[in-house]
Amino acid sequence: MPDCGEKRPLVGGQAVIEGVMMRSPSGIATAVRTQSGRIVVKTEPFVSLTRKNKFFGLPVIRGAVSLVETFAVALKALAFSADESINEDEEKEKKGGGVSWYMVLAMVGAVILGMALFFYVPLLLTGLLKIENGIVFNLVDGLFRLIIIFLYIYTITRWKDMQRIFEYHGAEHKAIFTFEEGVEVTPENAMDHPRLHPRCSTSFLLIVVLVSVIVFTFTGRPDNVGDRIFRLAMIPLIGGLSYEVLKASSRPNFRRFFGFVFWPGIMMQKLTTREPSIDQIEVAIVALNASLADNLLESRQFID
């Protein structure tokens, strides 16, 4: 990422229902476009455990910790967007409305299902082939994992209700790219920037596949239940290593020599992002600016 003469904080984001969540080193902001056309933005201070504790800030360990934190933040942002995109009553919290916990539970279930789908099903399929060589076994296992991820993403893209989220995903990337280049972050400037970003979670999924193949190669072929459980226990390590690779993508020199590592993920983003409208980019910029505010406080407000 260009420094443009100053050290700029690393910002990440996520598309939510009719909006965008942005996360900076000091806080989180989720902006949602309500049915009336107004933007409601929720902010809250957030300092990662990796910055509070030196041990949790160590390479690889910080990646595993950050993944857990990211999952928790994503659930809250999605639940908030689900509420706000349907009901914008400013007094609803006082009246007993609030987080859609049924949605949170559904997402937790989806993650558990996803873990099984991405890590255990490929293992079962590869086991059916009776491959004895450990290296070949893990290469085929990784290939099955890659195929399943592609089919999973392709299936989601066929879901009509997801198209709006993909557009907001594109808006999030455009806003972040504009910020990273150091130019004024306006909807017009952001519209001229790419919607494909190397630090996207789509790219992360493919990096996880690559790292898992390398890590599992050292474990050999799983022959019993204990071996399979051990592979599942390696997931935090794989996640941590993958996080370090993804984090390195913000360095121009790293991208220059290892850009090929991120190319498949960037191409995959052509499926998970769509060109956004000016209005959608405006929401992403509201979330971005709110997350970067000094002395960020917990609040919820409307922007007309």
Q: pLDDT value at position 201? A: 83
Residue 10 contacts residue 250 (beta carbons within 8 Å): yes
What CA–CA distance (Å, rounded) separates 298 from 304?
Answer: 20
Q: So where are the chain's domains?
A: 12-303
Four-CA torsion 31, 33, 36, 40, nearest 10 degrees: 0
pLDDT tens digits in sequence order for the chain, 304 residues long: 333 345 678 899 999 999 999 999 889 999 999 988 899 999 999 988 998 999 999 999 998 898 889 888 988 898 888 888 776 544 444 444 444 555 556 666 666 777 777 888 898 899 899 898 989 999 999 999 889 888 888 888 888 878 999 999 999 999 999 999 888 999 999 999 999 988 888 888 888 888 998 999 888 888 888 888 888 888 889 989 998 888 887 777 776 777 777 788 888 899 999 999 999 999 999 999 999 988 787 888 888 6
Degrees (nearest 5) of the Cα angle 202, 204, 205? 70
Q: What is the pLDDT of residue 261?
A: 75
Q: Where are the alpha helices (DSSP H) in the chain?
A: 49-52, 61-86, 101-115, 121-127, 134-157, 163-180, 187-191, 201-217, 225-233, 235-248, 252-272, 278-291
Q: Which tokens belong to 96?
A: 């007993």
Phi, psi of 27 (to 5 degrees): -175, 175
CA distance 296 to 285: 16
Write down the pLDDT at residue 288. Answer: 96
Calpha distance 94→262 (Å, rounded): 46
**Those residues with Cβ within 8 angstroms of residue 131's Cβ, 6 or more apart along the chain or in another chain:** 137, 140, 221
C-alpha closest to that of 194 among 279, 275, 285: 275
- Measure Cα distances from 229 to 118, 123, 124, 233, 237 in Å: 15, 12, 13, 6, 14
Q: What is the reported pLDDT for 87?
A: 63
pLDDT of residue 190: 96
Q: What is the pLDDT of residues 256-303, one digit of tens each?
A: 777 777 788 888 899 999 999 999 999 999 999 999 988 787 888 888
